[in-house]
């Protein structure tokens, strides 16, 4: 098994192999305190956090009204625009203002409405698989399957021309690359902002039937253009980055566990539990930040106002309190209340869409190519580790 080079990540995000958390996470979970760690962010400079690793504590922090997201305060119009300094970026808001903005998007992400998209998603997947089969018998799954499917879906939902996908995929990749300098990030976000501002201006004039167009048509008087830019960028980035990495990494995890792969390929009744298990097991959004707006208590562990918390989703989803002693991948496991989509007021808005895409894409891929296997040694597979979203750079496969 290869060991991803993640030495520059804080301990709450480290893995001992492609999938497994580092053993030190178990040690952190056994501590009675919330240990302190220091780090440095390329845009925000040095910081200190307290690590939260137990399932119950991470869940409590996600749900606590005084454990807030974002840097705090309103966006600064005099500072360079970034995701966290952008009106409408939901992760910068808390309390009533967050609830007001989130409410305007919630109706677009109901289970019933998203299920209506399933036949269309199935057609997208089938079309991509047909193209792959015709070009085969080898493929790099990331650019040819894992990225195009969620990109096509989110482009349609937002009214973004699919021809622009290369541009926003590149911008998203830069945004999530922690090796980039602050200036590179500022320049990249300026381009993202300009693109989305142009799209919002177009949709203001002619809303159409897209998700953003519907928001403008129904609630546009309550939102500024800058807030709509924030809406668009968070949905565009989150709508394809997370799902594409789940498709790629989930495929690799199944290839490394042939009995699990066979269950997903051959048994329709396993699909739902398999997707939930992969979401838990992979925990691609490995860790998330919170800030104590007031003194708070996490199951007897005091946190002072102003302290920052680093919530290890990876550690929480492997906690035996949640899953018992069997920590390995088990696609037949009864779904548990994992934290892959967070919890509480900031729980992922698009989680049901991601679930549908994964339930369609993974079984279809495995059934179309029943002899699917790695085209390179596992140690030659490239992983994205210096990123808030864990995943693959490429995945060469053959059949």
User: Can you give the pLDDT of all 399 residues of the chain as single tens digits?
Assistant: 555 645 456 778 788 889 988 888 889 999 989 999 987 766 667 789 999 999 999 999 999 999 999 776 677 777 888 877 888 888 889 999 999 999 988 877 888 888 888 999 999 999 999 999 999 899 999 999 999 999 888 888 888 887 887 787 788 888 777 778 888 888 888 898 999 999 999 999 998 888 888 889 988 889 999 999 998 888 888 877 899 999 999 999 999 999 999 999 999 999 999 999 999 999 999 999 999 999 999 999 999 999 999 999 999 999 999 999 999 999 999 999 999 999 999 999 999 999 999 999 999 999 999 999 999 999 999 998 777 889 999 999 999
Burial of 312 per CB tally in 10 Å (0-12, 13-18, 19+)? buried
Q: How far is CA 328 from the centre of its chain?
A: 22
By the 8 A CB rule, do 99 and 383 touch? no
Q: What is the pLDDT of residue 78?
A: 78
8 Cβ contact partners less than 8 Å away, ≥ 6 residues apart: 386
First CA to last CA across the chain, in angstroms?
22
Alpha helices (H) in the chain, listed in sequence order: 23-30, 55-63, 95-106, 111-115, 118-135, 141, 148-158, 165-175, 182-205, 211-219, 225-255, 258-266, 271-282, 313-316, 320-323, 351-368
Domain ranges in the chain are 11-398
Burial of 377 per CB tally in 10 Å (0-12, 13-18, 19+)? exposed
Q: What is the pLDDT of residue 220?
A: 86
Query: SS3 for 223?
Result: coil
Considering only CA atoms, which of 92, 72, 88 is closest in space to residue 292? Answer: 72
Q: What is the pLDDT of residue 286?
A: 93
Whether the bond between 263 and the residue before it is cis, its omega within 30 degrees of 0, is no
Topology of domain 11-398 in CATH is Cytochrome p450 (1.10.630)
Q: How many CB atoms lie within 10 A of CB 337?
A: 10
Considering only CA atoms, which of 228, 240, 163 is closest in space to residue 196? Answer: 228
In this structure, is the dihedral angle defined by the CA atoms of residues 120, 123, 125 and 128, taken in order, positive or negative?
Answer: negative
Query: SS3 for 251?
Result: helix
The CA-CA-CA angle for residues 153, 375, 171, to 5°, reads: 35
Q: What is the pLDDT of residue 9?
A: 60
Q: What is the pLDDT of residue 160?
A: 83
**CA 192 → CA 44, 83, 156, 233, 350, distances in Å?**
19, 10, 18, 7, 21
Mean pLDDT for the chain overall? 90
Give tens-digit pLDDT for 160-211: 887 887 787 788 888 777 778 888 888 888 898 999 999 999 999 998 888 8
Considering only CA atoms, which of 160, 350, 145 is closest in space to residue 247? Answer: 145
């Amino acid at each position: 098994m290869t060991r991803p080079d993640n030495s520059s990540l804080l301990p709450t995000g480290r893995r001992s192999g492609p999938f497994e958390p580092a053993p030190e996470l178990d040690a952190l979970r056994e501590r009675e305190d919330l240990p302190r760690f220091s780090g440095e962010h390329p845009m925000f400079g040095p910081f200190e956090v307290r690590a939260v690793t137990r399932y119950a504590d991470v869940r409590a922090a996600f749900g606590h009204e005084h454990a807030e997201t974002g840097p705090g305060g309103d966006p600064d119009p005099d500072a360079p625009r970034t995701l966290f300094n952008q009106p409408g970026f939901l992760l910068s808001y808390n309390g009533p203002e967050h609830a007001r903005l989130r409410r305007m998007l919630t109706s677009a992400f109901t289970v019933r409405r998203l299920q209506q998209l399933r036949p269309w998603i199935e057609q997208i997947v089938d079309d991509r698989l047909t193209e792959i089969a015709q070009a085969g018998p080898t493929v790099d799954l990331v650019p040819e399957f894992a990225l195009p499917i969620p990109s096509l879906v989110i482009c349609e939902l937002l009214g973004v021309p699919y021809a622009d996908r290369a541009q926003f995929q590149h911008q998203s990749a830069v945004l999530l690359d922690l090796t980039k300098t602050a200036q590179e990030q500022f320049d990249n976000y300026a381009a993202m902002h300009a693109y989305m501002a142009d799209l919002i201006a177009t949709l203001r004039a002619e809303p159409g039937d897209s998700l953003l167009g519907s928001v403008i048509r129904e609630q546009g008087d309550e939102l500024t253009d800058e807030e709509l830019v924030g809406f668009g960028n968070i949905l565009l980035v989150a709508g394809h980055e997370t799902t594409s990495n789940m498709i790629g990494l989930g495929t690799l995890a199944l290839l490394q566990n042939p009995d699990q792969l066979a269950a997903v390929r051959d048994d329709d009744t396993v699909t739902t539990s398999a997707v939930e298990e992969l979401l838990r097991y992979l925990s691609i959004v490995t860790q998330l930040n919170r800030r104590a707006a007031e003194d708070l208590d996490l199951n007897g562990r005091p946190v002072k106002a102003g302290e920052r918390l680093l919530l290890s989703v990876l550690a929480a989803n492997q906690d035996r309190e949640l899953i018992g002693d069997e920590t390995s991948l088990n696609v037949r496991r009864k779904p548990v209340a994992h934290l892959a989509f967070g919890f509480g007021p900031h729980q992922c808005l698009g989680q049901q869409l991601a679930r549908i895409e994964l339930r369609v894409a993974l079984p279809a891929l495995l059934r179309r190519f029943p002899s699917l296997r790695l085209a390179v040694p596992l140690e030659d597979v490239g992983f994205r580790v210096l990123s808030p979203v864990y995943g693959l750079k490429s995945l060469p496969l053959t059949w």
